[in-house]
Structure 1
Amino acid sequence: MQGYHSTFSRREFMKGLGITTAGIGGAALIAPSFHDTDELLSSAATLEYKDPWYVKEAEEPTVEIDWNTMQRFPKAKYNNFAQHLSADDAKAIQAKTKADTIKQMTDNSKPGWMLRDNAIKLLGWAGVRYRMSLANSLKEWVEGWSIIPTPTLLGVPRWQGSPEEGSLLVTQALRLAGASSIGFGEITPSTTEKMIWGQMPQNPFPALVFEGSGPKPVFDSAANKVVIPNSSRYAIVHTIRQSLDASARPGYLSDGAAGQAYDNCDIAQWRLQCFLRVLGYSSISQNIQGNGPIVGWGVIAGLGEQGRLQHLVTPRWGPMIRQSTMNIVDIPVAPTKPVDFGARRFCYTCKKCADLCPSGAIPNVTEPSWEITAKYDLVKPELFNNPGIKTWYFNHFKCNTTWQETDTYCGICQATCVFSKEDAASIHEVVKATLASTHVFNSFFIDMDNMFGYGSTPSDQIEQWWEKPIPVNGIRYENDVFYR
């Protein structure tokens, strides 16, 4: 990516902000005492899985929620593209896309859309698509795999411990299973229960019903419903990092990075389900569309803030994660609190994702709103927007139309977000710490991000991906805060 390295030193940059070794402007009022930024940055290294010091716990999410207005969303099956168009219009777009992609892959005329790039896309999505195609798998998603032994089969009592001990057990297990960050939530009738879909979004689309005192969740095929007992009132949420390098290359490479990360989310949650079953507990796993709004559960569990682009913006990797996978469980865990590190406040000033969105799906107005996307033409926003939060409501139809027209997941908003940076041991951490405590430099940071050339890879450099060594999973794990 152009502009990734710079001879502009950390200290010179701080002087440009009016920051000295005595403190970081307004940040010095709330930050620990450090002699210089190198000491400040190295302080993030701990033996615990903690966010950087500038990430504050909050009693409420930074996105405003009206629980009285919010209701459980009926996540029934529908096509978020064809549902808003006439049949002829939808077929015409799809036919043109097919003809264009065949030509591009035949003559290798468009960087990012070549045959080898498409092979990477399908490599990334293969596991996800296979699991979604399984006709009789829903029972396993709800009740677990029968080949995994339970404590009863092993002849031992099930594991018992405090919620805090349960959280520690799950965190260690999910880290081994591949999760990047882990959080926990509680499902309460008047609030977060409304963040569970009314139906599971996979065939045969059973209703999700909280009732009864049974020992575990059960898929009632005769009534086409999943019965969730009162004991299953906990949520385990985890994220998986996604390759920034591949995601910043528009086309099939970006698409493949998203698919691979979704696949890794699935792998981690199936491992979690097996782990919990052996301990004597249950887990309702989710498919790609979640058991509820995936960003919302990431916010509730304290894994990040909701940004303008309607992705979860995390403290360490920005929105470059896939996704807030949420499993409904009955093992007691200690809920983690929402966090505030200035990301949502920064979105008021920064409109980079909206300005660069090829479909115009992201609003570029300054203030968020309680009003969902306005109706127009044949578009039915109530099919994809759920009221009850104050945000920049996303137009999923416009986004999906771009996917249909390009035969690829887009991802430009993720890659261009100012918070999407991999180099943890750099000036980026100073910028994040400053944003967490003051808004004064917001515009300056946006200008600097543009000046250094961060964002999507230019088309003439996309295919260079094939000519350079890449790290495992396309991710520089050595810069993970947990390893420093």
Structure 2
Amino acid sequence: MSKFHSVVTRRDFMKGLGLAGMGLGAASATAPIFHDLDELVASADSQFKREWWVKEREYLDPTVEVDWDILDFGKPFCPPIGQYMNPNTPQIMERRIKRKKEGMLAQVPGDRLQDMALQETYEKLMHAYMGWPPKFDQTTTFNFGFPTQGIGVNTPAYYGVPRWEGTPEENLKLIRAAMHFFGSSQAFVTEVNSRTRRLFSPVSPLRWEDTPMPYQDNGVNVIPNKVGWEISCTIKQNNVTAASMTKVAESGPTKGYTPHFQAATCYAGYCDHYPLAYKLQFFLVALGYIGIPEWGAPNDLVSTLAVPWGVLGGTGELCRETIICSPEYGTNIRRPVTMFTDLPLAPTKPIDSGIMEFCRTCMICADGCPSQALSREKDPTWDIFMAPDGTPVNRPGLRAYRCDIVAASEYGCPFDCDRCQGVCPFNHDKTASIHSMIRATAGNTTMFNSFFANMEKYTYPAKDWDMDAWWNRDLNNWSGDVLVGFQQKGW
């Protein structure tokens, strides 16, 4: 880190805080003493620290006085909860529902159907989670079956109000605003039609028919024909952690592999995926529509692939790694939330941000692939890899870069390696303005792609992270952690 020794006097420091008028003696008695800015920056350690004016008291001595001889939560001090403190009695519930209905019908801001749907989403998600945490007896078995549209969410019909109606453009804006609040910064839409239905896989049998709701028929998932739109929502991974553990071990028991710790960013993305999918599904149901998610194993409910839908809707471009590369987040995005609905939506278009062209000359991911499974050909191809028994391991019908899935699987991918995701040049955030400039240049001309790729190799070589340093990182300023809703220093 560069040094910037600019001596700051105690008087100037107090002036900067706006405390000079209170008397330097009193202020300096409680303020930390810094001789220069480097001491100020280095003052935080690996423990969580509060601001200097927050003082600690003695153990068991909060600012509210406690008489420990009297206080005993084991003794009753009021009627049992439910006798007088129950907002769910039939009489109270009737009044609550009436207020909600009247607010929705009168279009009271904050109580309209779309407003209530947001509240309904989190209320019912909380109820779902109440049966989800680790069990007292340490069991972890749970199963979410095919999502018929009961799922405990109160629909407009429950309140006796019309369902949400808007133009496809208004509906897209509504979904994007909701998903941004739920935890995904982007949402894109692809139309479900005779062509895109080909993206569904026969792994889990399904059929389409004229039915009002999805249902199961002897193991076959039945999808209503009115489901005509797919929503892809971006799941962001931790790019700082992913980029910091990209060096392949040269010796020892893990020779030839990157640290498994890097995969924590991958699984964190999946952990974010499922709650986001539930939020979107609940929100759609609360608006009066269907929401059918594409799940991963073991519940491949509609058996499709998230990447093609994301590419068609404009989440990003298909890249050499055979996954989505986003112009904003690179390859550090996880499997997008993929949701099918009958809510009319304005489709979003595929994009060209120069990523596919950049992949022609970059090859950083392929050069560093420990299993050598990624293509090193300059141009995409129609050809596909075949398994030893003649089974195709890539989807035909695409002129794209291919991955030898057999070789990657033998190596242990994806569970033992996701190195390629950590080294993509498009992963860099906007902290340095040069990254935005390079993105813009690559999006308009291929002239400098080779230069940019070489600059990436020398500027950001593979890293071997100091794990002890990570566990002792400065929790007050570490920008690699994502604490949603908190004001973090360093961000």
Task: Give TM-score, length-normalised by structure 2.
Answer: 0.63
Match of 1:264 in 2: 272
The residue correspondences of 1:233-272 to structure 2 (distance < 5 A) are 233-248=228-243, 249=245, 250-272=258-280
In 2, distance between residues paired with 1:132 and 1:345? 46
In 2, distance between residues paired with 1:265 and 1:294? 12
Distance 1:339 1:379, change over 3 A: same
Match of 1:121 in 2: none
Contact 2:369–2:420 (Cα < 8 Å) also in 1: yes
The residue correspondences of 1:42-57 to structure 2 (distance < 5 A) are none
Match of 2:403 in 1: 394
The residue correspondences of 1:36-47 to structure 2 (distance < 5 A) are none
- The structural deviation recorded for 1:420 is 1.2
Match of 1:96 in 2: none
- Where 1:358 maps in the other structure, the secondary structure is coil
In 2, distance between residues paired with 1:188 and 1:473? 41
Match of 1:339 in 2: 351
**Percent of aligned pairs with the same amino acid:** 29
Contact 2:306–2:335 (Cα < 8 Å) also in 1: yes
Match of 2:223 in 1: 228
Map Cα deviations across residues 105-146 of structure 1 (whole Å, 9 max, x no partner). Answer: xxxxxxxxxxxxxxxxxxxxx999x999644x2222xx2452
- Where 1:152 maps in the other structure, the secondary structure is helix
In 2, distance between residues paired with 1:217 and 1:362? 39
Match of 2:296 in 1: 288
In 1, distance between residues paired with 2:480 and 2:207? 38
Matched letter for residue 468 of structure 1: R
- The structural deviation recorded for 1:294 is 1.9
Distance 1:448 1:133, change over 3 A: farther
Match of 2:325 in 1: 313
User: Which residues of structure 2 form unaligned runs of 5+?
Assistant: 3-131, 246-257, 486-490
In 2, distance between residues paired with 1:435 and 1:158? 45
Contact 2:276–2:337 (Cα < 8 Å) also in 1: no
Choose the corresponding residue for 2:417, options 386, 391, 410: 410
Contact 1:265–1:325 (Cα < 8 Å) also in 2: yes
- The structural deviation recorded for 1:329 is 0.8
| Stretch moving more, 242-251 or 257-266 | 242-251
Matched letter for residue 333 of structure 2: I
The residue correspondences of 1:83-482 to structure 2 (distance < 5 A) are 134-135=142-143, 137-140=144-147, 143-189=148-194, 191-199=195-203, 205=204, 207-211=205-209, 213-220=210-217, 222=218, 224-248=219-243, 249=245, 250-288=258-296, 291-375=303-387, 378=388, 380-382=390-392, 384-403=393-412, 408-454=415-461, 456-458=462-464, 461-469=466-474, 474-475=481-482
Contact 2:242–2:422 (Cα < 8 Å) also in 1: yes
- The structural deviation recorded for 1:235 is 0.3
| Stretch moving more, 316-325 or 463-472 | 463-472
In 2, distance between residues paired with 1:469 and 1:280? 47
In 2, distance between residues paired with 1:133 and 1:409? 25
Map Cα deviations across residues 340-369 of structure 1 (whole Å, 9 max, x no partner). Answer: 010001111111101101111101111111
- The structural deviation recorded for 1:161 is 1.2
In 2, distance between residues paired with 1:133 and 1:219? 22
Contact 2:240–2:480 (Cα < 8 Å) also in 1: no
In 1, distance between residues paired with 2:443 and 2:139? 40
- The structural deviation recorded for 1:308 is 0.4
- Where 1:327 maps in the other structure, the secondary structure is strand
- The structural deviation recorded for 1:424 is 4.8
Matched letter for residue 437 of structure 1: N
Matched letter for residue 313 of structure 1: C
Higher relative contact order (CA 8 A, sep 6+): 1
- Where 1:457 maps in the other structure, the secondary structure is coil
RMSD (Å) for aligned C-alpha atoms: 3.0
Task: Give TM-score, length-normalised by structure 1.
Answer: 0.64
Matched letter for residue 234 of structure 1: W
Matched letter for residue 458 of structure 1: D
Contact 2:364–2:457 (Cα < 8 Å) also in 1: no
Aligned length: 337
In 2, distance between residues paired with 1:388 and 1:414? 25
Matched letter for residue 153 of structure 1: Y
Distance 1:274 1:151, change over 3 A: same
Matched letter for residue 306 of structure 1: L
Greater fraction helix:
1
